[in-house]
Chain A
């Protein structure tokens, strides 16, 4: 699994796999194709275990990225409430 919470900075931090998703040219289709094709070198059970663990990892990413997105949006929202006041300081 990826490192602790702090690792998930907006650029994916040290998590090499998460990093891939931050790459502009990332295409889900290609990623899955390569993942499955390489896993299939051994046998079909290997493919199933690789796929299941990747799915677990992706769920983990989804959870943390969503949390971070929510906190970022909250910051923007809170700012917009105080906005009129900020310019006078």
Chain B
């Protein structure tokens, strides 16, 4: 009697139970395999689209670089979704031979194009949309590259403006036209800042992403521009003035012209009037005597 019931237990309970476990185990392996394969297929599809774009046209244009940049961003997101992808030999091969070399090339192209578009940015020509797209796609490719490119653009503009102002010290009559040029460069920086503020990314916007990387403390491009211009001009101005001689005398003779030029150019410009005092302070040595 016992054997019969044990036999029955074996057939009707133990066997089905182990079969169920076996099936569950196999099902999970099939599932893991297909999810890895699906992510690999997405990667391969993206890379083959990249290759066909490259075959169509070898030289990069702005439009083509934006297309390629969006493929690279999708590749990165796909890679982040499934870390196992990088252990697949084919993926490693495609990454090394196709994706990464092209990413470097596209990254450089977009950084250079963005710099060019920004340095001779002109509201009337309205390349705002292109600048916005280039900024966003550069950010998508590499956050560091985005921040360092914007930083370089602002620093270049600062260097040019500081030089323009320093040159006026030996012939102060040229100060008004020079200062106007600096204000227009400053307003380009401000307009770029506006574009960055409008471009939503992740939690904030492109402006916030830039400012949060500024050391020692967060700094907007406009503030960076004017604070550097003011401190640099103060150094040059004090130097020329204290040296005295014809240059020093001419500076003090034109004290009001200098202050009025700065006030006129900055006070009624909402974007930069908060930096008026900073600029006036840079020529404040004239008032002390």
Contacts and interface: CB of A to CB of B under 8 A. Distances in A.
Given A44-B47, A48-B45, A65-B23, A59 B34 contact: yes
A33 B89 CA distance: 6
Given A48-B48, A51-B44, A62 B19 contact: no
Interface in B112-163: none
A75 B14 CA distance: 12
A28 B36 contact: yes
Contacts of B87: 29, 33
Contacts of A72: 16, 19-20, 23
B4 to A, nearest CB: 9
B170 interface: no
B23 A68 contact: yes
A22 B13 contact: no
Nearest to A11: B22
A29 B84 CA distance: 8
Contact of A62 (B20, B27, B48, B91): B27
B5 interface: yes
Q: Main SS of chain A's interface residues?
A: helix
Give the size range of A's interface with the partner.
35 or more
A73 interface: yes
Interface string B19-48: 110111011011111101110110011011
Nearest to B98: A44
Interface string B44-66: 11011001000000000000000
A36 B37 CA distance: 9
A12 B29 CA distance: 13
B17 interface: yes
Contacts of B89: 33, 36-37
B239 interface: no
Contact of A22 (B20, B22, B41, B91): B22
Contacts of B38: 55
B33 A58 contact: yes
Nearest to A69: B23
B16 A51 contact: no
B22 A10 contact: yes
Contacts of A79: 12-13, 16
User: What are the 5 closest A-B residue pairs judged by CB atoms, nearest first?
Assistant: A28-B33, A28-B32, A58-B34, A36-B90, A69-B23
Given A51-B41, A62-B30, A86-B5, 16 more contacts: A21-B26, A21-B29, A26-B29, A32-B33, A32-B37, A33-B88, A36-B40, A39-B90, A44-B44, A55-B34, A65-B26, A68-B23, A69-B20, A72-B20, A79-B16, A86-B8
26 contacts: A22-B22, A22-B26, A26-B29, A29-B87, A32-B37, A32-B40, A33-B89, A35-B37, A36-B40, A36-B44, A36-B90, A47-B44, A48-B45, A48-B48, A55-B38, A58-B33, A58-B34, A61-B30, A62-B31, A65-B30, A69-B24, A69-B27, A75-B12, A79-B13, A79-B16, A86-B8
Interface of A: 10, 12, 21-22, 26, 28-29, 31-33, 35-37, 39-40, 44-45, 47-48, 51-52, 54-55, 58-59, 61-62, 65-66, 68-69, 72-73, 75-76, 79, 86-87
